Amino acid sequence: MAKKESAPKAKEKVSLGDLVDRTAKRMKGEVTKSVVDSVAHAFLDEIGAALVNKEPVVFVGKFALVPVWRAERTASNPQNREQKVTVPAHWALRVKPGKNLLDEMGS
């Protein structure tokens, strides 16, 4: 019997520090690492502020971060399938990949 082919594993996570290092190297000395770090943190703060205000954040061709409202629903308790629990209504975040990103990933 042939073995079932498994999906390829994702690589290690890339941290904010890794992105700052990569960006600073890419800038080839035009800006310091500390400036890149400050800009990255300010950029993330602005994204967070927009999402808190329920504003979608769109990077055309790459991805969109879209706040979505989830209505109250009934679900099964994963530890006891017979027991039903109410999941309260809440805001969630949807990540929608863009066409260019999907093409780059080879999807």
pLDDT (0 to 100) of residue 7: 75
The residue among 100 and 4 whose pLDDT is bigger is 100
Report the chain's mean pLDDT, rounded to a whole number: 92
CA angle 53, 55, 56 (to 5 degrees): 145
Q: Residue 98 belongs to what H/E stretch?
A: none
Give the global pTM.
0.78
| Each residue's pLDDT tens digit, 45-91 | 999 999 999 999 999 999 999 999 999 999 999 999 999 999 999 99
The helix/strand/coil state of 27 is coil
Q: How many CB atoms lie within 10 A of CB 19?
A: 13
pLDDT > 90: percent of the chain:
81
